[in-house]
Amino acid sequence: MGEHCWEQVVPEETQYIYRHYSRDLPLGERPAILAIDLYNLVFEGGSRPIRELVDRYPSSCGEVAYRAIEPIQAVLEAARRRGAPIIYTTGSPQAEGGATHRKDQPRDPQAYAIFPAFTPAAEDLVLVKSRASAFFGTPLIAHLVRRQVDSLIVVGESTSGCVRASVVDAYSYGYPCWVVEEGVFDRAPLSHQVALFDLHHKYATVVHLEQALQALA
């Protein structure tokens, strides 16, 4: 299915040390899609290098966010054809604190609306969270149990932040997770690569888009 992005930065010795932890967790028969924080803030300023945007748009992920649009859309479309549940998370300007310790949390509600490229359908669920994990302080578990979901396919951002926190919690609750490498992104390439390496060797299976689409077919 192709090499993984962390192979560019994780030393061969470290990859060797962790070889016993790498395994492919099987996806269940009733997967759901967990689309994390695909809100307008992340796409502000357009498809440009983040360094050109960060002074004006400190929450933007720039061109890496835009590169993930088509892969994420493909996962969502495959899930709809299968009838698999799709669950979005977002933030809120009214939330106490936030997903990170960023000092100037945006206060415009529209900033947290799901980006138009991923507009939720009527049957999709949108959960508002106040911390990094999709599970913390939300009814996510109740919805997964009600829909008899037995595994999760994860897309969204940021890989080292809310994606990682949500996947670790999913593992703690006993849900096998697939993380779609082309469908997650981060402001810092190194953080993205190392987070995927850690998740793949400890809490999830990092798959390429093609594998996720085959599983959903």
For 54-91, what is each residue's pLDDT tens digit? 999 999 999 999 999 999 999 999 999 999 999 999 99
- In this prediction, residue 109 carries a pLDDT of 79
List the helix and strand counts (H, then E) for the chain.
8, 6
Q: Is the pLDDT assigned to residue 106 strictly greater than 80?
A: no
**Mind listing the domains of the chain with CATH numbers?**
5-18+27-98+107-216 (3.40.50.850)
Nearest one of 185, 174, 186, 161 to 70, comparing CA atoms: 185
C-alpha to C-alpha distances, 35 to 16, 22, 38, 96, nearest whole angstrom: 32, 24, 7, 22
What is the predicted pLDDT for the residue at 48?
Answer: 97
Predicted confidence at residue 92, as pLDDT, reads 79
pLDDT of residue 1: 43
Above 60 in pLDDT, residue 11?
Answer: yes
The residues that bridge with 184 in the sheet, in sequence order, are 156
**Averaged pLDDT for residues 187-213:** 96
pTM: 0.93
CB atoms within 10 A of CB 25: 16
Of 3, 64, 70, 5, nearest to 213 (Cα)?
70
- E runs forming strands in 19-163: 31-36, 86-90, 125-128, 151-157
Which tokens sit at 183? 């469908």
Closest CA to 171 of 142, 200, 214: 200
Per-residue pLDDT tens digits for 128-165: 999 999 999 999 999 999 999 999 999 999 999 999 99
22 falls in which pLDDT band (50, 70, 90)? Answer: confident
The rounded distance, in Å, linking the Cα atoms of 82 and 68 is: 21
Q: How confident is the model at residue 104 (pLDDT cuts 50, 70, 90)?
A: low
- Token readout for 125 is 């669920």
HSE-CB of 116 using CA atoms within 13 angstroms: 1
What's the CA gap between 214 and 46, in Å, rounded? 31
Here the tokens at position 211 are: 């594998």
Tell me the average pLDDT across 31-50.
97
Q: Is the pLDDT of residue 2 over 80?
A: no
pLDDT of residue 102: 58
Band (24; pLDDT cuts 50, 70, 90): confident
Q: Does 162 participate in catalysis according to the annotation?
A: yes
Q: Indicate the average pLDDT of the chain.
A: 93
